[in-house]
Chains A and B, each alone.
Chain A
Amino acid sequence: MESEKIMKLEKLKSASPLEVSNILIEFELYDKKSSQEIIDEVYEQFRTGEQMEVSIITPVFSAIVDGLLERTSFGKGARKKGLTTERVVQECKSFSYDEELVKPIDRNAYEEYKNVQDSNKYTDENNRDKFNRSDYENKYKMDEYKANKLNNEDGNSTGRKLIEDEYTGKKNIYVYRNDPDKRRNDPKFDYQAETDHIVPLKQVYTQLKDNYALSNEDIKVTANADYNLAVTSGAINGKKLDDTNSEFIKKQGNNLDAETTSRMIDLEKNAQKAINAEANKRVLNNLTGQGELSNKEIISGYDKFTIENGREPTKEEKGKIKLGLQKSKTDKLNSQLAENTKNQTTEYAVGNVILYIIKPLYYEVKDIFKNGMMAGTEATSPGQAFLFRCSRIKNHLLKHAGEFLGDSIGQFIKNFIKSLFESIVDIFVGVFKQFLRIIKEGIKVFIQSAKILFGKDSKKMTAAQKGDAIIKLLGGSLIALAGIGIELYLNKLGIKEPWSVVISTIISGLASALFMYFMDKVDLFSAKAEKRKERIEEIFNERIAEIQNATETFNVAAIETLKNQREQFEIISNDINKALGNNDIDSVNSSLYKLAKFYQVDLPYESTEEFVKYFDESKIITI
């Protein structure tokens, strides 16, 4: 009960019987604020002001800052540690010494993707940063492919000189330079057949060079398979060079007929699909100990055996050597994966520690600026206040260290698993990679939805709140995946890192902020309306309880006071009447003195002697 009411009750208990009625009338048992005003205030709170800042301004600002920070190594470093602007701002703002430790918010799919991109660089001792054509071109395969065009499906020669140009569809190119088409004058050998890589070698190299799950041999085999080879005329091949089919068509403009354009586009699409499929197959084989070995690796293995054992390996031993080499390749790949994942997970852990320390620091700095150094410290000097604040930070960190460590270990394991998944997904390519990413994100959404629906906090949430949370979860995940898509699209348009990352970070951040704001505004499941109703009910329940409590306390105090006063009066009155009946004037006077005290009347005398003196000495007695 408020201290003012307690004071008034004390005043009531000690009041004169003549004052009690007024005190009772004036006693306020509840504040006079109108009930409708209370409802209107809550509606207003939920509609405007603070909500705007929390729901739109801060997230938009955070998205822009995060995007711009991608340009800086500091920003990238912070992002790798899970320290995005939104997370730092949100956790610092909501920090309080009294509240329990907050679990770190999950990173979205786009953040995880960016972090893994930074970690998953190829770090083999054979540095793949520079493109060396001879490492990846298989001239033998290319010549074989061209030569086979002179044979039919059975492998027998067709007996014809000219073969079909796979790009133009015309049978007007000849295979061997020393056996040209004599009907045509072709000094420049424009009509000689040449084997072209449909998706240029350099392009395949660029797509796969950072993939540490693929060796140089894997890339070479993938790039030189039949699905990526096409025979065409020297004229076309000479002009196409390292362009893709699409780039070539764009440059040629109207110089190419519709048939050629259509065939080139189809071949390019199919070739890219096949390259992706082959790369994914090789990645899977490498991960599972079935990876293909290069001749160089096999021979090297045999030589090592020979040196160690002083003899050539038998057929069986050769088999074992190959298996050993495959297993060794897989182990190396897995340890690289684990190493990258461990590094990323450690970064997240470091980020959590940094934030754990920053939050109380931010709180104290904010408090100093807002309320002054000494506010809330009970210190007598700024120096003392500073020490108090430092001590408070230290105590908080030590107090929650155990809990933080426990949470951190759990978080470390969770983050390790998540990063491992993302790292594995990242070593695949093409549509399959996006499919795996969607599956991964889907599993994440499924687990989080299950927590919302069945977890320990689910009992506190209503169905509407759960529905709202799940929709936001789904929307957030889709937008995060879209962020990855935007970055890849920008790369295709020629906007490379870091600007593609900056722009896609800003766009996906803005989209996420706007989506959450829109969801709050629309309030599809009326979750906000439900929260508002619960708040109103909570306020009114509290007020009703307060009124009932105050009324009961008031009743008890007032009834007791009235009862005591009445009893006291009855005793005195009976004494007076008895004394009058017994003609005992002494008792009458003694009771009258008690009555005077009861009514808090100040008498100028306390005994008969004093009264006589008072009476005689006063010229006029004023009643």
Chain B
Amino acid sequence: MGFFAAIGAGAKKVFNATKEAVSNVWASITGKSNFDKAEQLYDETAKLYESKQLEFRTEVDKLIFSIEESVRCINEAKHKIKSELFVKMATELEKIKDIRFDKDFAFEIYKGEALNFEGMNSKSQLYKIDFSKTKTKVLAVLTLGFSSRKKARETLYAVQEERKKIEHEIAKMHSELDKLRLVDKSLKNVAYYFTSLTDLYEQLLIRLNNSVHYLYYKCLHFANKVVSQGMSIKLLPSIQQKEIEAIITASKILKKMAETQILTIEDQSKVTQYKKIMEESKNEIVDIYKAA
């Protein structure tokens, strides 16, 4: 590098260093350093909040989908209990006893709470000063920096308050997500309970069929005694008695499950409409089966 070039480079370095030093002093006097901190914090907070909101929305969508799946499964099970299983059970048992049951069931719809979180206030709402304006610079000089320093400080405080507010909203988001995860888990459990118990009930129904026929034929054989005593299950061997006991107990359990409102109570009109749709779908399947 030539001599003059070296001098030029050195001078440039000194100039830049001086410029920086003067800028720093100016920033301290006018409060621009605080204002810059406020700007940086605002941008960081905005980015953080945006990313958290996106995470939250994605996770909520997943969970709601899962919950709705569980709810659909529960509704189907309830419908099966009332329209098929209990019908079969009643059909079998009415040979020996009048059985009554209500075909209505507590229909479930997941009505998730509207999860609204507050947004960030805009810069114009938070900032007390604008360093890009000439008026600000003039005022800063005239008041020896007092006015602009004060406003810059207050701007920083306002942004710090906003940051805390956003952290509060994020904490709420995490809390709501945790709650939603637990609701999902709980409904998955309930759906599992329904599935398992309907399978069990079907097994018991098969056994019931045998017990009822046994009683029926025994009563025919001892017709004279039946007239005076009626179709009493006392006439059955103890095992058959217990089979019937099992099905009745299981029926009472399933009735409770079908008729309990697990989620929110929905409009009756919506319940009726959905049941109608379910009924029509079932009839369609039965028709197709019969045709086959």
Question: Taking beta carbons and an 8 Å cutoff, which residues of A are in contact with B?
Answer: 16-22, 24-25, 27, 29-30, 34-36, 39, 464, 523-526, 529-530, 532-533, 536-537, 540-541, 543-544, 547-548, 550-551, 554-555, 558-559, 562, 565-566, 569, 573, 576-577, 580, 585-586, 588-589, 592-593, 595-596, 599-601, 603, 605, 608, 611-612, 615-616, 618-623
| B263 and A22 contact, CB distance less than 8 A | yes
Q: How far is the CA of A615 from the CA of B248 in the complex (A)?
A: 9
Chain B interface mostly helix, strand, loop or mixed?
A: helix
B residues in contact with A547, CB < 8 Å = 168, 171-172, 175
Q: How far is the CA of A585 from the CA of B118 in the complex (A)?
A: 59
| B153 and A603 contact, CB distance less than 8 A | no
B residues in contact with A612, CB < 8 Å = 233-234, 241, 245
| A18 and B253 contact, CB distance less than 8 A | no
**CB nearest to B229 among chain A residues:** A616
A residues in contact with B39, CB < 8 Å = none
Q: How far is the CA of A150 from the CA of B150 in the complex (A)?
A: 72
| A17 and B256 contact, CB distance less than 8 A | no
A residues in contact with B178, CB < 8 Å = 551, 554-555
* B289 interface residue (CB < 8 Å to A): no
| A35 and B118 contact, CB distance less than 8 A | yes
Knowing that A17-B190, A529-B153, A622-B100 touch, tell me 14 more A-B residue pairs with CB under 8 angstroms. A16-B260, A18-B257, A22-B261, A25-B183, A35-B168, A555-B182, A576-B200, A601-B256, A603-B249, A615-B248, A618-B97, A621-B99, A622-B99, A623-B252
* B272 interface residue (CB < 8 Å to A): no
* Known pairs A586-B242, A601-B253, A623-B100; A536 contacts B161 (CB<8 A): yes
B residues in contact with A615, CB < 8 Å = 97, 233, 244-245, 248
Minimum CB–CB distance for A595 against chain B, Å: 6
* Known pairs A30-B175, A540-B168, A623-B100; A603 contacts B252 (CB<8 A): yes
Minimum CB–CB distance for A468 against chain B, Å: 12
| A526 and B98 contact, CB distance less than 8 A | no
Q: Give per-residue flags for B89-125: 1 if the beta carbon is below 8 A from chain A beta carbons, else 0.
A: 1100100011111000000000001000010010000
What total of chain B residues lie within 8 Å of the partner, measured CB to CB? 70
**CB nearest to A585 among chain B residues:** B242
**CB nearest to A530 among chain B residues:** B157
Q: How far is the CA of A577 from the CA of B203 in the complex (A)?
A: 10
Pick the contact of A622 from B101, B176, B242, B261 — CB < 8 Å?
A: B101
Task: Please list 18 pairs of residues, one from A and one from B, whose beta carbons are closer than 8 Å in the complex, sorted by A's number.
Answer: A18-B257, A18-B260, A18-B262, A25-B113, A30-B175, A36-B121, A36-B165, A533-B161, A559-B185, A562-B189, A573-B196, A588-B204, A608-B241, A616-B232, A623-B99, A623-B100, A623-B248, A623-B255
A residues in contact with B121, CB < 8 Å = 36
* B13 interface residue (CB < 8 Å to A): no
* B174 interface residue (CB < 8 Å to A): yes
Q: How far is the CA of A195 from the CA of B176 in the complex (A)?
A: 100
**CB nearest to B251 among chain A residues:** A623
Q: How far is the CA of A19 from the CA of B90 in the complex (A)?
A: 28
| A529 and B157 contact, CB distance less than 8 A | yes
Residue in B97, B164, B241 with the greatest tally of chain A CB atoms within 10 Å: B164
| A21 and B186 contact, CB distance less than 8 A | yes
* Known pairs A526-B157, A622-B101; A558 contacts B190 (CB<8 A): no
Minimum CB–CB distance for A178 against chain B, Å: 74
A residues in contact with B154, CB < 8 Å = 526, 529
Q: How far is the CA of A619 from the CA of B98 in the complex (A)?
A: 7
B residues in contact with A558, CB < 8 Å = 182, 186
* B243 interface residue (CB < 8 Å to A): yes
Minimum CB–CB distance for B243 against chain A, Å: 6
Interface residues of B in 254-268 (CB under 8 A from A): 255-257, 260-264
| B242 and A608 contact, CB distance less than 8 A | yes
B residues in contact with A596, CB < 8 Å = 249, 252-253
A residues in contact with B100, CB < 8 Å = 620-623
B residues in contact with A593, CB < 8 Å = 249
B residues in contact with A620, CB < 8 Å = 97-100
Minimum CB–CB distance for B195 against chain A, Å: 11
| A35 and B244 contact, CB distance less than 8 A | no
Interface residues of B in 144-164 (CB under 8 A from A): 146, 150, 153-154, 157, 160-161, 164
**CB nearest to A607 among chain B residues:** B245
| B249 and A551 contact, CB distance less than 8 A | no
Q: How far is the CA of A277 from the CA of B222 in the complex (A)?
A: 144
| B187 and A21 contact, CB distance less than 8 A | yes
| B101 and A623 contact, CB distance less than 8 A | yes
Q: How far is the CA of A35 from the CA of B193 in the complex (A)?
A: 41
| B262 and A621 contact, CB distance less than 8 A | no
Q: How far is the CA of A537 from the CA of B168 in the complex (A)?
A: 10
Q: How far is the CA of A618 from the CA of B256 in the complex (A)?
A: 20
* Known pairs A25-B183, A34-B118, A616-B232; A565 contacts B256 (CB<8 A): no
* Known pairs A533-B161, A599-B257, A616-B232; A621 contacts B248 (CB<8 A): yes
Q: How far is the CA of A593 from the CA of B97 in the complex (A)?
A: 22
